[in-house]
Amino acid sequence: MTFHETYTMSNGVAIPKLGLGTWFIDDGKAAQAVRDAVEIGYRNIDTAQAYGNEHGVGEGVRTSGIAREELFVSTKLAAEIKNYDDAMAAIDGSLRTLGLDHIDLMLIHAPQPWNDFRGGDYAEGNREAWRALEEGLRAGKLRSIGVSNFLREDLENILASCAVAPQVNQLLVHLGNTPTELMAYCESKNILVEAYSPIAHGEMLKNADVAAVAEKYGVSVPQLCIRYTLQLGTVSLPKTANPEHMRSNAQLDFVVSDEDMDLLRNMVQRDYGEHSVFPVYSGR
């Protein structure tokens, strides 16, 4: 697959189909991971305030040897920020920490704070945070804006009052967890879905059924998992700091048949082992 294949979001901005996720990459190692990824060919880099590595990611972008306009950098507003003033300050904070003059895509990380994920009513707070993202867009600080982990009702809350509709919803999408109805709703509203943890935080490597399908195509399990999410029409964001894995993850010159796509789409595996302590893997 070419690293330059893109989707066009509802605002006309192009986003590379394959990106590098950076969750769990330490700040001190993030710059080298980004430089390695860019050297291999990646042009889409995803981080978040909550990851604690925006400084390293920004350094990697600035020292990559590639013109800034050739790279697509995303970050996320901390899930705990549910008011306009703090959101505005956090946008500027991310720009300072990254050391960049603009961010290509900024998302609200979750519709609730992590300690109340899928809990209370934060509808007004999300509207306030969204208003700040819209202001950042108008000011040229952000090129695109979106959300992450938003369910249909969370999206409807934003859509009912926004001046600019979300361009992206970044979701947990992988073999064994394909939120078909939510993805269809996003598509109906022209909201592009990004798939984070496309290899289920590594859990798919233990699945014998998935391994059998991968063997049929002569590819690795991660390659099958990433190709699956791309054929769903999502941006795929596999996370790794290992250059060999980065290279392998991008070797996607095969097509999963419609029959196998149906098989994979209907698989259910939502056991994330020790990682189930994280809200996004908790089943809520």
Active site amino acids = 51
Joined together, the tokens standing for residue 252 give 């996607």
- Encode 25-56: b = buried (16+ Cβ within 10 Å), e = exposed: bebeebbbbbbbbbeeebbbbbbbbbbbbbbb
Minimal CA–CA distance to 173: which of 193, 152, 150? 193
DSSP codes, 156-216: HHHHTT-SS--SEEEEE-BTTB--HHHHHHHHHTT-EEEEESTTGGGGGGG-HHHHHHHHH
Q: Collapse the DSSP code of 101 into the 3-class scheme (helix H, G, I; strand E, B; otherwise coil) and give the result.
A: coil
Minimal CA–CA distance to 143: which of 232, 52, 261, 11? 11
Distances (CA, A) of 9 to 13, 47, 179, 187: 5, 19, 20, 11
CA angle 243, 245, 247 (to 5 degrees): 70
Q: How far apart are the first and last CA of the chain?
A: 34
Asked whether 144 and 11 are in contact (CB, 8 A), the reply is yes
